[in-house]
Amino acid sequence: MSINRNIEYYLSVNSDYAALDSIRQFIDHHAKAFGFKKNEASELALAADEACTNLIKHAYKFDKNKTIDISISSEQEQVFSIIIEDSAEPFDIADSPKVNINSYIKAMKPGGLGVHIIKAVIDVIHYKPASKKNGKNRLILKKYLSRK
């Protein structure tokens, strides 16, 4: 099987739930091409979906005129990086409190597990708020390709 390395692909979508399917397909396709198994690629697509869902709902407040830019890259042979850029108010998901799953299930609350899912799937999460150099916030999600 031929595996693509040092890849870089881009996708720009409007802040709309209708774009989530395109985002999932984009991530899933390129994760498989990178060498991830089907279930691992699906998990990566889910993590990106959750991050973008939070952007659409909480950061952009369903403003379909806003955009979400997604890029996929590999700076190292075994590292698959998903970079999600936005122009909303900065929010670092790494600062989100840890979810107590037992309490959450007992409360039967709908939604609210997106950050928990991202943290469970992704190996390294890095957030860079917008700066003069880069006018957009950047959420960098890194997953290592394991050789099991």
Q: What is the pLDDT of residues 128-146, one digit of tens each?
A: 999 888 899 999 999 999 8
Digit-coded pLDDT (tens) for 73-102: 987 779 999 999 999 999 887 777 676 666
The backbone torsions φ and ψ at residue 138, rounded to the nearest 5 degrees and listed phi first, read -130, 120
Under CATH, which number does the domain 8-144 receive? 3.30.565.10
Asked if 125 and 141 count as a contact pair (C-beta separation under 8 A), the reply is yes
Model confidence band, residue 2 (pLDDT cutoffs 50, 70, 90): very low
Query: Residue 43: which of 134, 144, 135 has the closest Cα?
Result: 144
Rounded Cα gap, residues 20 and 6, in angstroms: 25
What confidence tier does 116 reach under pLDDT thresholds 50, 70, 90?
Answer: confident
Expressed in percent and rounded to 5, the helix, strand and coil fractions of the chain are 40, 25, 35
Q: Which of 134, 4, 143 is nearest to 69 (CA)?
A: 134
Which residues have C-beta within 8 Å of that of residue 91, sequence separation ≥ 6?
A: 58, 59, 137
Tokens 């990106």 found at: 48
pLDDT number for residue 115: 84
Q: Of the segments 22-26, 87-91, 94-98, 118-122, which one has the largest average pLDDT value?
A: 22-26
User: Residues 45-80: pLDDT tens digits?
Assistant: 999 999 999 999 999 999 999 999 999 998 777 999
Instruction: Determine whether 105 is exposed, middle or buried from the number of CB atoms within 10 Å of its CB (0-12, 13-18, 19+).
Output: exposed
